Amino acid sequence: MNRLALTVVDVLGLLIPGIVLLFGFCLAPVPLEWLQPLNAALLERLPILSNEWVAGGCFLGSAYTLGFLLRVTSLGALNHLTWRRWSVVFVHQTKAFNGVFEVALANAQLTQALNEFSSHYEKHHPGKYAPYFPLAKRLIRRNSELWAEAERLEAEVRFTAGLFFPFIVLSLDGIARGLSTPGAWVLLALGASGAVIVLRTFPPRRSSEVLYVQLLALTLLLYPDSKEHRPA
């Protein structure tokens, strides 16, 4: 994936969760008599918002900001919620990488320091179970081709995590509407099914990202001048 395509995916990974969250807020069953005075006061103070292009730009800007906040918070939250599933994979599969990393780095002090440092991570952090993962990310930054692959995987994981809270908001909208209309049931079904899908797909995506980043780093360490050995 080239840099332009990766940038587009990264921006959409911020915008789409933010837009879904904004729609969730807009669909909340708030009485209109509460909103009308607020809208009138807002337009009176900022008449430029009556322009649809300005209002649309503000909407996209708000969605982007919310998407950024979701990116900051949702990944850690899902790590906490699902760590028992992906940590099991890490414990079994990273052992094979650890020995190869020790040989490839050929630095006993460094490998010992990394293992000691990993013990200070919380149990919800991937570095707790994959001690060479932080170093692997920094190693592949030196190679633009490999770093683009790592960024693509990271963007997919963050995009998946960013949709969790917006789906929860949609399901709460359906419940708050009393489930008295078909629309309320649609919101509940859409939000609940989306949240469940995110919870089920996040652990394998998270473990695949961490393991593949380590594989890319080993490729760079073991075959620094050979492109034919790089993963496709």
pLDDT, one tens digit for every residue, the chain (232 residues):
556 666 777 778 888 898 898 888 888 776 555 445 555 555 555 565 566 666 677 778 888 888 888 888 888 888 888 888 887 777 777 777 788 888 888 888 888 888 888 888 888 888 888 888 888 888 888 887 788 888 888 888 888 889 999 999 999 988 888 877 888 888 899 999 999 999 998 888 888 888 888 888 888 888 876 554 444 4
Q: Residue 124's pLDDT is what?
A: 82
- CA angle, 5 then 8 then 13, to 5°: 125
The 3-state secondary structure of the chain reads CCHHHHHHHHHHHHHHHHHHHHHHHHCCCCCHHHHHHHHHHHHHHCHHHHCHHHHHHHHHHHHHHHHHHHHHHHHHHHHHHHHHHHHHHHHHHHHHHHHHHHHHHCCHHHHHHHHHHHCCCCCCCHHHCCCCHHHHHHHHCCCHHHHHHHHHHHHHHHHHHHCHHHHHHHHHHHHHCCCCCHHHHHHHHHHHHHHHHHHHHHHHHHHHHHHHHHHHHHHHHHCCCCHHHCCC
Query: Model's pTM, two decimal places?
Result: 0.76
